[in-house]
Chain A
């Protein structure tokens, strides 16, 4: 006979403020089959758990209902406590009195009544629970890092240094990400390339890292420890082993008028190109969309000049099928461009540029060799205006969030400008200066006090051109909202940081959540910032939200530790809450009629065919069988099966029915 124990938690005052916990415990205690019922202030605390363990032994309990918070929060805690008390952990259920009751209702009798009802359903359910054993699955100890910016690089190196294999997938021809485009970096003004390039080389040379550039994830199947990932290696039109990286092809390619992505469109590149001199790998790719041969069928000059005969025009894309244990997503961010700012004339006037373009102008390896020249006529601007929060913190633009990095890089830009153009004037329009970070505010103060950058607190309404000058109209809110008009030679917009293109698509392939701005979503905003809600997939860097290099790197190392912890286990245990197709004695074998409708709806490809053979080897029946390693217990097949042959362990039809009946019946 069932002997159920019920433990009602106050959750401090979270539950007890609106629910009469004493009354709940007492009422439930009077139910049939309830052998023990009590209340306590914090069930999840040590004494609370001990209370449960002791009661299991003392009252010889066959099932436990903890009436507390959401099972998402503490189900593992209480199941563990039950196991320690000698009860199979799957004989423990939670009744959610907090999220489903106390938090959403006023204090009154009805609320307490509802709490009692919630507990009753779980008492009825747990009576029908059966003892289940966890499922063991193996772990493939190879990690995949998607995206080769600084975050991806850091994660890959950290994982590789723990002795595990890493496969890095980068979609552009080189790793490095945005950091490779930066000139100098706040708050120290050290050269970005100088600190990044050694890391890039380390990735390429690390014995545990396999790098695939010009590659993208096609599909992801499987689950933690056992992902199957298909990767498309786009054709580089090149035999990478034969190519020595001499660069002859890139200098001889006659098609030289393609806007250079690395220079943010401020320079040109040939059709066969290496994105930048320090690129890793330092091998060219042919951009087929712009190559004369692919467009017109003629040219092949690169093939003719190549001393090692490395060019392969007919190279196809290659699909790699990889077995992966854990995935780190590090696909970074983008910034808003031209057409987003018609009111600032961006995209219409050449001398209105964005922050990344300014980085290239200020970079010694950039199109102007580090001299700040304006794009229209190459003149050095005497008056330069920086506009912070361009697009960010502007609900009317659909971007309510703060992009976090632009206050700092704007201060950096103004400083770099002043260091290069001593007689020039730099103005910054800002909403607030957000410079939280080690040595960050000091950095901004330096821009204002030592480099005499003119900070104006207020927004800019419009920028337009008149007689070759840019007129910036704004307001100074510290001077009684006075209107200001600055006649500038160049304007730099600190445009909003946004999700990288293709982020939504990738998130869907990975089955991880993303927010309304298409940034990847962490599993918990405070306590699980590097996890996603899909086990075995972690986040690093600006793919989660705009962040600076120190933050991106810290998170990347955090993700690496999570991967290393996962790989330290030889097998993983999974909750056995999976579906099963019933089996009966021959000649029926199962009530399953073999329609395999379930197979077509299972989102995890977990349903297989099982054949039953007669003695002569003839197949007499084929029925469905569920691979418990793949099944995620979503229940779709259960709902679909017309012959009611499938049930979900832990959530069987009879259990759910018992819950419903409990609600319908008086007690």
Chain B
């Protein structure tokens, strides 16, 4: 089975670990990816704060390229990119006039036919059915599943999990043997894009997320978003300084955890690239 993949800016940069794990488990399950040729920036947070048309045109071009290259299903591992693509598809479906206008802007045909999957949907659809037989080393750990703000939102458009108390990641994790803790910080803000400009705010907010996970005895925080990961993992020294603490809990991508459970080596799923050492396997 062949999918389009949209890596966005992070997967080949700060989230190489995530990228490696997505490709590693895909390979293990006989799934293949084609990178959307000539892809561009999704617009991220900046575009939709500045110019609505731009914020729709950028993702529309990506989707149009996928259509042009016959990629019917595309996976978008970054939760932020995913959100931009899904919202664009929704907006343009709702308003045919706007769609025509955007087509003019991007100078391409756009039909809105691609199926866009985030990592959880993709796992649900293509990994879970064949997962059980492949598990060699159940991930027997207590985990805190952290969804962040974008993975299941906006719920009006996505409609596949409960926005305020999501469950899908917990379900996936229990399928590989993990024991998710009752975790109220699932959708609390990690500081998001302030990662660069206001590390103090990120330290404050992400610190609370980490503290509660440790307090509940979780051995790892599970994420599915490169931004969440960098705030909780890369910013750990700042967080520990801010809170005068020694939080050690590792932050693991769901795809990495699946990789370990099906017996892939830690290097292969990018676990050696983390800032906070991952001792569990």
Q: Which residues of A contact B164 (CB under 8 A)?
A: 342-343, 462
The answer to whether B162 touches A466 (Cβ under 8 A) is no
The answer to whether B165 touches A342 (Cβ under 8 A) is yes
The answer to whether B212 touches A466 (Cβ under 8 A) is yes
The answer to whether A343 touches B165 (Cβ under 8 A) is yes
Interface residues on A, range: under 10
The answer to whether A348 touches B184 (Cβ under 8 A) is no
Give the residue of A342, A345, A348 whose beta carbon is less than 8 angstroms from that of B162: A342
CB contact list, B126-182 vs A, under 8 A: 162, 164-165, 182
Contact with B along A451-473 (1 / 0, CB 8 A): 00000000000101110000100
The answer to whether A462 touches B184 (Cβ under 8 A) is yes
Task: Determine how close the nearest CB of chain B comes to the CB of A395; give it in whole angstroms.
Answer: 10
Q: Is B215 an interface residue (CB 8 A)?
A: yes
The answer to whether A465 touches B165 (Cβ under 8 A) is no
Q: Which residues of A contact B184 (CB under 8 A)?
A: 345, 462, 464-466, 471
Task: Determine how close the nearest CB of chain B comes to the CB of A161; give it in whole angstroms.
Answer: 51
Q: Which residues of A contact B165 (CB under 8 A)?
A: 342-343
Q: Which residues of A contact B212 (CB under 8 A)?
A: 466
Task: Determine how close the nearest CB of chain B comes to the CB of A396; give it in whole angstroms.
Answer: 8
Q: Residue among B165, B212, B215 with the most chain A CB within 10 A?
A: B165
Contact with A along B26-58 (1 / 0, CB 8 A): 000000000000000000000000000000000
Q: How far is the CA of A464 from the CA of B184 in the complex (A)?
A: 6
Can you name 5 A-B residue pairings with CB atoms under 8 Å? A348-B182, A462-B184, A465-B184, A466-B184, A471-B184
Q: Which residues of B contact A348 (CB under 8 A)?
A: 182
Q: How far is the CA of A106 from the CA of B182 in the complex (A)?
A: 60
Q: Which residues of B contact A345 (CB under 8 A)?
A: 184
The 8 closest A-B pairs by CB, nearest first: A464-B184, A342-B165, A343-B164, A343-B165, A342-B162, A342-B164, A462-B184, A466-B215
Residues of B within 8 A of A (CB): 162, 164-165, 182, 184, 212, 215
Contact with B along A468-484 (1 / 0, CB 8 A): 00010000000000000
Task: Determine how close the nearest CB of chain B comes to the CB of A472; give it in whole angstroms.
Answer: 11
Q: Which residues of B contact A343 (CB under 8 A)?
A: 164-165
CB contact list, A410-436 vs B, under 8 A: none
Task: Determine how close the nearest CB of chain A comes to the CB of B207; give it in whole angstroms.
Answer: 15
Q: Which residues of A contact B215 (CB under 8 A)?
A: 466
The answer to whether B182 touches A465 (Cβ under 8 A) is yes
Q: Which residues of B contact A466 (CB under 8 A)?
A: 184, 212, 215
Q: How far is the CA of A345 from the CA of B185 in the complex (A)?
A: 12
Q: Which residues of B contact A464 (CB under 8 A)?
A: 182, 184
Task: Determine how close the nearest CB of chain A comes to the CB of B169; give it in whole angstroms.
Answer: 15
Closest to B215 in A: A466
Contact with B along A316-349 (1 / 0, CB 8 A): 0000000000000000000000000011010010
Given A343-B165, A348-B182, A464-B182, list of 11 further CB < 8 A pairs?
Answer: A342-B162, A342-B165, A343-B164, A345-B184, A462-B164, A462-B184, A464-B184, A465-B182, A466-B184, A466-B215, A471-B184
Q: How far is the CA of A343 from the CA of B162 in the complex (A)?
A: 9
Task: Determine how close the nearest CB of chain B comes to the CB of A159; give it in whole angstroms.
Answer: 47
Q: How far is the CA of A24 from the CA of B170 in the complex (A)?
A: 71
Q: Which residues of B contact A465 (CB under 8 A)?
A: 182, 184
Q: How far is the CA of A38 from the CA of B281 in the complex (A)?
A: 93
Q: How far is the CA of A120 from the CA of B36 in the complex (A)?
A: 65
Q: How far is the CA of A361 from the CA of B7 in the complex (A)?
A: 56
Q: How far is the CA of A250 from the CA of B165 in the complex (A)?
A: 42
Task: Determine how close the nearest CB of chain A comes to the CB of B111; give it in whole angstroms.
Answer: 31
Q: How far is the CA of A34 from the CA of B172 in the complex (A)?
A: 79
Q: Which residues of A contact B162 (CB under 8 A)?
A: 342
Closest to A345 in B: B184
CB contact list, A478-506 vs B, under 8 A: none
Task: Determine how close the nearest CB of chain A comes to the CB of B82; give it in whole angstroms.
Answer: 21
Q: Which residues of A contact B182 (CB under 8 A)?
A: 348, 464-465
Closest to B165 in A: A342
Q: How far is the CA of A345 from the CA of B164 in the complex (A)?
A: 10
Q: How far is the CA of A345 from the CA of B215 in the complex (A)?
A: 19
Closest to A463 in B: B184
Q: Residue among A345, A462, A465, A471 with the most chain B CB within 10 A?
A: A462
Q: How far is the CA of A146 from the CA of B228 in the complex (A)?
A: 56
Q: How far is the CA of A418 from the CA of B162 in the complex (A)?
A: 36
Q: Which residues of B contact A462 (CB under 8 A)?
A: 164, 184
Closest to A348 in B: B182
Closest to A462 in B: B184
Q: How far is the CA of A466 from the CA of B181 in the complex (A)?
A: 12
Task: Determine how close the nearest CB of chain A comes to the CB of B163; give it in whole angstroms.
Answer: 8
Closest to A343 in B: B164
Q: Residue among A342, A345, A348 with the most chain B CB within 10 A?
A: A342
Q: How far is the CA of A342 from the CA of B184 in the complex (A)?
A: 10
Q: How far is the CA of A531 from the CA of B215 in the complex (A)?
A: 59
Closest to A342 in B: B165
Q: How far is the CA of A129 from the CA of B191 in the complex (A)?
A: 75
Task: Determine how close the nearest CB of chain B comes to the CB of A483; give it in whole angstroms.
Answer: 12
Q: How far is the CA of A462 from the CA of B184 in the complex (A)?
A: 8
Contact with B along A342-368 (1 / 0, CB 8 A): 110100100000000000000000000
Q: How far is the CA of A348 from the CA of B182 in the complex (A)?
A: 10
Q: How far is the CA of A193 from the CA of B182 in the complex (A)?
A: 40
Task: Determine how close the nearest CB of chain A comes to the CB of B190; give it in whole angstroms.
Answer: 15
Task: Determine how close the nearest CB of chain B comes to the CB of A119; give it in whole angstroms.
Answer: 39
Q: How far is the CA of A373 from the CA of B11 in the complex (A)?
A: 53
Task: Determine how close the nearest CB of chain B comes to the CB of A487; give it in whole angstroms.
Answer: 14
Q: How far is the CA of A465 from the CA of B183 in the complex (A)?
A: 9
Q: How far is the CA of A464 from the CA of B212 in the complex (A)?
A: 11
Task: Determine how close the nearest CB of chain A comes to the CB of B36; give it in whole angstroms.
Answer: 33
Task: Determine how close the nearest CB of chain B comes to the CB of A477; give it in whole angstroms.
Answer: 19
Q: How far is the CA of A656 from the CA of B165 in the complex (A)?
A: 58
Q: How far is the CA of A342 from the CA of B212 in the complex (A)?
A: 19
Closest to B212 in A: A466
Task: Determine how close the nearest CB of chain A comes to the CB of B187; give it in whole angstroms.
Answer: 9
Q: How far is the CA of A482 from the CA of B212 in the complex (A)?
A: 22
Task: Determine how close the nearest CB of chain B comes to the CB of A327; give it in whole angstroms.
Answer: 40
Q: Which residues of B contact A342 (CB under 8 A)?
A: 162, 164-165
Task: Determine how close the nearest CB of chain B comes to the CB of A474; give it in whole angstroms.
Answer: 14
Task: Determine how close the nearest CB of chain A comes to the CB of B32; give it in whole angstroms.
Answer: 37
Task: Determine how close the nearest CB of chain B comes to the CB of A117; give it in whole angstroms.
Answer: 33
Task: Determine how close the nearest CB of chain B comes to the CB of A376; give it in whole angstroms.
Answer: 15
Q: How far is the CA of A464 from the CA of B213 in the complex (A)?
A: 13
Task: Determine how close the nearest CB of chain A comes to the CB of B152; give it in whole angstroms.
Answer: 12
Q: How far is the CA of A464 from the CA of B182 in the complex (A)?
A: 9
Task: Determine how close the nearest CB of chain B comes to the CB of A409; give it in whole angstroms.
Answer: 25
Q: How far is the CA of A471 from the CA of B215 in the complex (A)?
A: 14
Q: How far is the CA of A345 from the CA of B162 in the complex (A)?
A: 13
Task: Determine how close the nearest CB of chain B comes to the CB of A92; give it in whole angstroms.
Answer: 48
Closest to B167 in A: A342
Q: How far is the CA of A348 from the CA of B186 in the complex (A)?
A: 15
Q: How far is the CA of A277 from the CA of B162 in the complex (A)?
A: 41
Task: Determine how close the nearest CB of chain B comes to the CB of A469; give it in whole angstroms.
Answer: 12
Q: How far is the CA of A465 from the CA of B215 in the complex (A)?
A: 12
Q: How far is the CA of A466 from the CA of B215 in the complex (A)?
A: 9
Closest to B154 in A: A396
Q: How far is the CA of A398 from the CA of B58 in the complex (A)?
A: 32
Q: How far is the CA of A348 from the CA of B165 in the complex (A)?
A: 12
Q: Residue among B182, B184, B212, B215 with the most chain A CB within 10 A?
A: B184
Q: How far is the CA of A315 from the CA of B25 in the complex (A)?
A: 62
Q: Residue among A345, A348, A464, A465 with the most chain B CB within 10 A?
A: A464
